[in-house]
A = this chain, B = another copy of it.
């Protein structure tokens, strides 16, 4: 496994790789890896000859007042895990290397970025689309792998890739959960034991919505009302949003169809958590 710390060094490596004979896979992360990230790498291995993992805590996708500074970092642990997974290249660029002085271009994200996380975190998806475009152009992968926990991000990146004609296949990978149902997230480390217990209300609420749909409830408002009640009665938790959306456009739907997403975001103390499930399916499988 080769650890690459500068854009210049990576460019020279990339020129030595043949796109014709080798399938290159990109797994972009912000580091502090968990089993969710590792599952992306294992899925990437099924498609690709060369796996490139990037660990970069991208400042531009954090909104002012968010946790950019204290976002968890543990480079040595990350590198050990990536080596274990047989990753070929790890890119650990510095912030100034990605955003040098004078940097001023960005991506105006597609329509699916509106509402939900796009509303709670203004500028977030612009930052995501910009860094993902930069990484796409740097790594020039054939495939790029994203976790479905960030469901709206997945829809946004798929639309951006299609709109801008990036010659890259986006592979969306299933959410990995703790045994009690909590979706894995680097931010779970922020949670105290008490908060950790309270955090479960999100996945339980989504699961309940799917059960209601199975029982014949197709009115999204009924599902949302029940869901909001669940979350609002949990102490120490503050609902950000709960929505039933079309899986591509991320527009609200009133009549639930199989394949629609039940999405939610909430604060447990100061920690913001998101999760989603798919009506009629539970967890969405790998998009491949």
Contacts and interface: CB of A to CB of B under 8 A. Distances in A.
Interface in A158-190: 159-160, 163-167
Nearest to A140: B167
Where chain A touches its partner, the secondary structure class is mixed
A129 B19 CA distance: 26
Specify how many copies of this chain sit in the oligomer.
2
A111 B107 contact: no
Interface residues of A, number: 33
Contact of A104 (B19, B159, B166): B159
Contacts of A138: 165, 167
A42 interface: no
A163 to B, nearest CB: 4
A104 B158 CA distance: 12
A121 interface: no
A167 B11 CA distance: 9
8 contacts: A11-B167, A103-B110, A105-B109, A106-B107, A107-B107, A108-B108, A108-B126, A137-B165
